[in-house]
Amino acid sequence: MIKSRQIKGRQLVLVVDDQEINRDTLEIILENDYEILYAENGAQALDIIRSHLKDLSIVMLDLIMPVMDGFTVLKYMQSHEEMKKIPVIVLTADKSAELKALQMGAADFITKPFDMHEVILARVSRIIELSEGRQLISAAEYDSLTQLYNHNFFHEYANRLFLYHPELHFDAVSINVEQFHSVNALHGREFGDMILRSLGREIRQFLSLTPGIASRYEGDHFDIYCDRQENYKALLNRFQKKVNELSPGVNIYLRMGIRPWADGVEPVVMFDCSRAACNMVRGDFQNPLMIYDEILHKRELFDQKLLNDITAAVQERQFQVFYQPKYNIKEDPPRLSSAEALIRWKHPELGMTFPGDFVPLFEGKGLIGIVDSYVWDVAAKQIVDWQNRYHFILPISVNLSRTNLLDPTLIDRLKKLVTDHGLDFKNIKLEVTESAYTENASLVIDVVEQLRDLGFEIEMDDFGTGYSSLNMLSRLPIDVLKLDMVFIRNIETSETDRRLVKLILDMAKYLDVPVVAEGVETEGQLDLLRRANCDLVQGYYFSRPLPPEEFEKLIIREIEIDRTKEKEKEKEKEKEKDTE
C-alpha cells in the first residue's frame, strides 16, 4: 500500500521499503524537514517517480523487496533521461550490495537498522544540496531545447581542450538553418523548436562516436568542435536527411561552414572563420557547404577593409556614379529615354571596385542606405546639370533598397531631395528589386504606394529572379517591369527562353505595364525583343555604363537627331508651300 503526506512546498522525499517499521522510522527522522511519499516495492516506486518527476528531491531505496527490487529500479532510473537526475540513497543491511548499488548510480547508502538519526538527516540534506547544485550548473551549462552546451560553456571547454590537449587537432564546424525566421512564421514556433531539437539530437548522436563537443550558439546556429572528418559533405547530408524526415512537404535547408584545424589558432578565432564561411553560402541551395581557406581569409580582410573605409569614401567622394542608357525601341531609330545610375568605388588603395564587391556586403551589414543616399544626391545634381547645360531633361533611375523601404524617414528624405534640387518627381525613377516585396510585403507595398502618390515612378528590378508569383504582379504597385538579363541571354538560341520572354511581355501588356529588357548585347536580341513588343532596352548593344562626361555624348547625339528632324519638318513645310 502506498502512503503519502500532503505536499506543502518543502523538498519531497520518496521512501521505498517493504517493511512498515523502516518506513515509520524514516518518517520520524525526516518529517520535520521534508514532505514524504512512500512505496512498498519497486513497481509502486516507479509509478510515484513518474507522477512526481519534476518535484522529487531524493529517493531513499531499499534493495531487497518483493515484486520489483531496488536494483531494477536503479537500472531503470539510469536509463531514463529525467529520472537519472534524481539522487538515490540505497537502504540496505547487506554491505556486499553497497558497491554494486554505487556502481549502478546510487549517490550514497545508509545501513540498516537506522540507529544514528542525525547522521541520516545530514546525509539526506547533503545529497539533496549537492544534487540541486549540479542541476543548477547543468541548467546553465546546457541549452534546454537541444541539450547541447550553451555558448559560454562551450567556448570555455573548447579553450580548455585547445590549451591542455594540443594533440587534438579539432576542426570548427558551424551549421545554420536557412531562413529559419520564415520557418517559424509559416509553421509556428513549436514546429521550429521540433526541428532544432531533432538537429541537436542528431549532433549528439554524431558526437557519441566522434570526439568533440557541440553548442547551440544562438537561435538556429550550431557550433561543433570535433575531430576532423573525411567527408563534411556526407556529414551535412546526414543532418539534412534527419531534418527532411521530420518535415515532409516543408523545404528546410541547412548550410555549413568549416574552419580546419591550424596550429596555434584558438577556438574563438576558428569559429569566427567557420561562421563567416557558413554565411558565405547563405541562399546557395546548390552548394550549401564552404570550407574556410586562404582565399576566403583574403576575402574577409578585403571586406573588412571596405567596411572600415565607407565613411571616408562618402566624405572624400570616392564613390563615382556611372549611367547606363535606356532606349525606347518603339521608335526608329531607338531613342534615349532615361538612364540607370550605377555606382563604382575608386578606392585609393584597391583601385576601381565594382558593386558586386561591396553592395551585397553593405546590404548584409545594414550600411547600403549610406551608399543609396549618396547616389540619389549625385543623380539629382546630374539631372539639373544636364538640364541647365543642354536643356535636356533625362530621368534617372536610382536603387531603393529594402533597408530604405523600412526606414520611416524615407518619404520625407526623397521629397526633400526632389524639392531641394527643383526637380519634378517623375525625374527620379525608383528601382525596387522583386525580392524586396517578399518580406513585410504589406509594409513595403504601403510605402511604395505613398511614393507613387507623390509622383515617383516605381520600377521592379530583376523581375523573374525572386519569389513573387505572377498572380501577385497585378496587385503590386509598380509602373515599369525590368526583365532580368538571365531571360535575354539565350533568346536567340533557346525556343523556351523566347517563349518565356514573349509570355512575360504579353502579360505586362495586358496589365498595361511597360517592360525594360536588361542585358541586350546583340542585334538579334534587339530584333526579337522589338518583334515581341518590348518597350525599352538597356545593355552593351547600345552602351556600357558611362561616366557623366562620356554619357553627355549620347545626350548631344539625341539633341542632334531632334535638330535634324526639325530641319526635315521645316523642309517638308517649305515643299508644301512651294507646291501650293
What mean pLDDT, rounded, does the chain reach?
86
**Residue 156 or residue 318, greater confidence:** 318
On whether the pTM is more than 0.85, the answer is no
C-alpha 198/C-alpha 109 separation (Å) is: 38
Q: What is the dihedral of CA 125, 129, 135, 141, to 10 degrees?
A: -160
The answer on pLDDT for 467 being more than 50 is: no
Distance CA 482, CA 457 (A): 13
pLDDT over threshold 80, residue 384: yes
- Burial of 528 from C-beta contacts in 10 A (0-12 / 13-18 / 19+): buried
Give the type of residue at 214.
Answer: A
Of the chain, the percentage scoring pLDDT greater than 90 comes to 43
Q: So what's the pLDDT on residue 8? A: 41
Least confident among 359-363, 392-396, 513-517, 569-573: 569-573
Residue type, 181: H
Q: What pLDDT band is residue 217 in, cutting at 50, 70 and 90?
A: confident
Residue 554, phi then psi, degrees to nearest 5: -70, -40
Residue 410 or 102, more confident: 410
Alpha carbon 106 to its chain centroid, in Å, reads 45
Phi, psi of 147 (to 5 degrees): 65, 20
Nearest-angstrom CA–CA distance, 2 and 38: 6
Cell of 486: 538571365
Cα separations (Å) of 577 from 425, 566, 572, 574? 43, 17, 9, 5
pLDDT of residue 549: 96
Rounded Cα gap, residues 45 and 59, in angstroms:
9
User: Does residue 477 register a pLDDT over 90?
Assistant: no
231-282 pLDDT, tens per residue? Answer: 999 999 999 999 888 877 778 889 999 999 988 899 999 998 999 899 888 8
**Single-letter code of the amino acid located at 4:** S
Contact 193, 247 (CB under 8 A): no
Angle between helices 70-79 and 42-51 (to 10 degrees): 30
Q: Return the top range by mean pLDDT from 87-91, 223-227, 401-405.
A: 223-227
Is a pLDDT exceeding 90 seen at residue 321? yes
- HSE at residue 548, side-chain half, CA atoms within 13 A, is 15
What are the angstrom distances between the C-alpha of 52 and each of 7, 49, 60, 82, 218?
11, 5, 15, 11, 32
- Over 60: is that where the pLDDT of 471 sits? no
Q: Are 171 and 228 in contact (CB under 8 A)?
A: yes
C-alpha–C-alpha distance, residues 104 and 20, integer Å: 26
Tell me how far apart the alpha carbons of residues 177 and 105 are, in angstroms, rounded to a whole number.
38
User: 60: closest CA among 8, 5, 124, 114?
Assistant: 124
Least confident of 194-208, 236-250, 523-537: 236-250
- The alpha carbons of the chain give a radius of gyration, in whole angstroms, of 36
Note the pLDDT of residue 470.
54
Query: Which pLDDT tens digit goes with each residue over 540-559?
Result: 999 999 999 999 999 999 99
417-441 pLDDT per residue, tens? 999 999 999 999 999 887 677 666 7
pLDDT tens track for 5-44: 443 457 888 999 988 888 888 888 888 888 889 999 999 9
Q: What percent of the chain has pLDDT over 70?
A: 93
- Over residues 464-468, the mean pLDDT reads 53
Closest CA to 394 of 360, 361, 428: 428
Task: Domains for the chain: give ranges and CATH numbers.
Answer: 12-141 (3.40.50.2300), 151-292 (3.30.70.270), 318-563 (3.20.20.450)
DSSP assignments along 496-562, one per residue: HHHHHHHHHHHHHHHTT--EEE----SHHHHHHHHHTT--EE-STTT---B-HHHHHHHHHHHHHHH
Task: Look at residue 474 in the predicted model and tell me its pLDDT.
Answer: 66
What is the mean pLDDT of the segment spanning 450-464? 89
Using DSSP's 3-state secondary structure scheme, residue 399 falls into strand
In the prediction, which pLDDT does 472 show? 58
Q: If residue 209 lies in a helix (H) or strand (E), which one and from where to where?
A: none
- Residues 286-311 as b/e (b if ≥16 CB within 10 A, e otherwise) read eebbbebeeebeeebeebeebeebbe
Confidence of residue 497 (pLDDT cuts 50, 70, 90): confident
222 three-class SS: strand
